Chains A and B, each alone.
Chain A
Amino acid sequence: MNKTVNINLAGTFFHIDEDAYLKLQHYLEAIKRSFTDSQGRNEIIADIEARIAELFNERVQNDRQVIRIKEVDEVISIMGQPEDYLVDDEIFEDEPQTSYERKSSASKKLFRDTENSYIGGVASGLGHYLGIDTIWIRLLWVLLIFGMGTGILLYILLWILVPEAKTTAEKIMMTGEPVNISNIEKKIKDGFETVTETVSDVAKNVSDSVSNAAKKVDFNKQGNKIKSSSKTFFDTLADVIMFFFKIIAKFIGIILILVGAFALIALIIGWFSVGVANVVNIPGLDLIDIANAGNTPIWLASLLVFFAIGIPFFFLFYLGLKILVNNLKSIGNIAKFTLLGLWLISIIGLVVMGIRQASEHAFNERVIEKQELLITANDTLEVKMTDNDLLRNRYDRHDSFKVASNEKGEKTIYNSDILILVKSTTDSLAHISIEKSADGRDYEKAIERAKNIHYNYTLKGNELNLDPYLSTLSKNKFSDQEVTVILYLPEGTVAKFNNNTKHFLNYRIPSNYVNHYLNVTEEGIICNDCDDDEFEVNIDVPNVKIDKNGIEIKGDKSHLKINDEGINAESEEVKLKIDGDGINIKSDN
Chain B
Amino acid sequence: MKIENTKAQMRKGVLEFCILSVLKDDDAYVAEILDTLKDAKLLVVEGTIYPLLTRLKNAGLLNYRWEESTSGPPRKYYGLTETGKLFLTELNTTWSELQNAVNLVTNTKKQQEK
Chain A residues in the interface with B (C-beta under 8 A): 10-12, 31, 35, 39-40, 43-44, 47-48, 50-51, 53-54, 57, 77-82, 84-85, 87-88, 91-92, 94
Contacts and interface: CB of A to CB of B under 8 A. Distances in A.
B65 interface: no
A48 B31 contact: no
> What is the predominant secondary structure among interface residues of chain A facing chain B?
helix
Nearest to B48: A84
Interface in B55-73: 55, 58-59, 71-73
A87 B48 CA distance: 7
Interface stretch (B9-17, B19-27, B101-109): B9-17
Nearest to B45: A80
Interface of B: 9, 12-13, 16, 30-31, 34, 44-48, 50-55, 58-59, 71-73, 75-76
15 contacts: A12-B73, A35-B51, A40-B58, A50-B30, A51-B31, A54-B31, A57-B72, A79-B45, A80-B44, A80-B47, A85-B47, A85-B51, A87-B51, A91-B12, A91-B13
B48 A44 contact: no
A77 B47 CA distance: 10
A44 B12 contact: no
B51 A39 contact: yes
Nearest to A78: B46
Contacts of A82: 47
Nearest to A45: B50
Given A80-B46, A85-B48, A11 B73 contact: yes
B54 A47 contact: yes
Contacts of B45: 77-81, 84
Contacts of A43: 54
A144 to B, nearest CB: 50
Given A78-B45, A80-B47, A87 B53 contact: no
A426 to B, nearest CB: 113
A85 B50 contact: yes
Contacts of B53: 47
A54 B72 contact: yes
Contacts of A50: 30, 73, 75-76
A85 B47 CA distance: 5
Contacts of B46: 51, 78-80
